[in-house]
Structure 1
Amino acid sequence: MGRIFRSLDDVEFNRFFKEFQFTAYRLESLQKYDVSYEKNEFDLFLNGQQRGEFPGIAGWIDGTVRPAHASGRILHRVHVVEEPLSDYVRFECSWAYTHTVAAGEDVRIIPVNPGEWPEGLPNYDYWLFDSSSLITMHYKDDGEFEAAEIVDDAEKIVQANLWRDLAVNKSIPFKEFSERYDVLFQPE
């Protein structure tokens, strides 16, 4: 294995998002991510607020999504989500994905029943840059980030590419998924 990043703010980790040439892909597997910069907004969302874009997401959009989209690079992710949606996934959909998709990120969803998992896909998060740089993401059971690790093993990188292709094939575009929900991502 390669270098380990203990912070999402690590300069070397964030360099991947600035320097990828063609594609950056993320598989998301959790139903809750415990991200400190989202705490206030998540609480507002839980109280029924319709606020929309918030500083953490605005930084991601302005610093990563828009520059990538403007330069013709593809930033995409597939999130496996259990239905009914967790409060966090509802928040992520209405306060994050709605805005990142509008800015040019290709977000796709694989809806599953609780306890099910799409056949052939790993049940963990990773980033794959330009189909050649693989970073696995490690979280505690409560969704708190632990570490990100560069994977140098060529077989694992090839496998991550196959998983990406399978996940994209099994998924639906976020806009299509969102049509089944109201503005706070409650079922319609």
Structure 2
Amino acid sequence: MADLVPFEEITWLFEDFAHTAWRLETRRGYASDRLGPKWARFQAGETAFGYQPDQPWHANVRKQTGLGKRFERVRLVDDPPTEGQRFLLASGLGNVEAGEDIRNLYRADAVRIGLPDDDFWLFDSRTVVESVFDGHGQDLGVRILEDAESVVRACRFRDAAWHHAVATEHFQAQLRPAV
């Protein structure tokens, strides 16, 4: 098993990938979200966070997609969504405006098609970055995997998730009455 490294050691991958940065997001909530500045606004009732050109993630997504690269992710969502998932649905709108293609999949469907419970990034179908969290959603670090078995498994999960997931716009429309 690969050693854990701090997330900061792999941030270069978000600029240096050749064609696709793809993520499976499985957590019901993230400590980093609860500690961020948008959380208080969300708690106060704000439900949509738009594109912010000066926000580093948005700026990089816009830059990379402008170069023809793709940022994609599938988020697993409980039914009904947890508070953390409702926050991600709201804050993800800005990521979509920046150029990221975010799709959503109900957790029950993810279980049915055999998706894992662990978050990971897949870069260019060759590098897997597995995220490791504690029981409270606190990031403990990542593992970088480039062996054929790990990469093929991640590609299989990506293909299954992408096939069954629903684009954010359509998913949000279905949830509005319940959120």
Decide: shared fold, TM above 0.5.
yes
Matched, 1:40 2:37: yes
SS at match of 1:117: helix
**Alpha carbons of 1:104 and 1:48: their partners in 2 closer, same or farther (altered >3 Å)?**
same
**Alpha carbons of 1:80 and 1:71: their partners in 2 closer, same or farther (altered >3 Å)?**
same
Is the contact made by 2:51 and 2:95 (CA closer than 8 Å) also made in structure 1?
no
Other-structure match for 1:73:
69
Is the contact made by 2:133 and 2:139 (CA closer than 8 Å) also made in structure 1?
yes
Please list the CA deviations of residues 35-80 of structure 1 after superposition, one character each: whole Å capped at 9, or x if unmatched.
068433212211213572498x922101x21011100101000011
User: In structure 2, how many angstroms separate the alpha carbons of the residues matched to 1:88 and 1:29?
Assistant: 11
Q: CA deviation at 1:34?
A: 0.7
Spell out the pairing of 1:45-56 with structure 2 (5 A cutoff).
45-50=42-47, 52-53=49-50
Count of aligned positions: 178
User: In structure 2, how many angstroms separate the alpha carbons of the residues matched to 1:50 and 1:121?
Assistant: 28
Other-structure match for 2:19:
22
Spell out the pairing of 1:87-126 with structure 2 (5 A cutoff).
87-94=83-90, 96-113=91-108, 117-126=111-120
Q: CA deviation at 1:97?
A: 1.1
SS at match of 2:85: helix
SS at match of 1:99: helix
User: In structure 1, how many angstroms separate the alpha carbons of the residues matched to 2:159 and 2:122?
Assistant: 12
Is the contact made by 1:22 and 1:73 (CA closer than 8 Å) also made in structure 2?
yes
SS at match of 1:35: helix
TM-score (norm 1): 0.85
Other-structure match for 2:57:
60
Other-structure match for 1:143:
137
Structure 1 portions without partners, runs of 5+ = none
Q: CA deviation at 1:112?
A: 3.2
TM-score (norm 2): 0.89
Is the contact made by 2:51 and 2:93 (CA closer than 8 Å) also made in structure 1?
no
Q: CA deviation at 1:152?
A: 2.8
Q: What RMSD over aligned residues (CA atoms) do the two structures have, in Å?
A: 2.4
Amino acid at match of 1:5: V
User: In structure 1, how many angstroms separate the alpha carbons of the residues matched to 2:35 and 2:61?
Assistant: 18
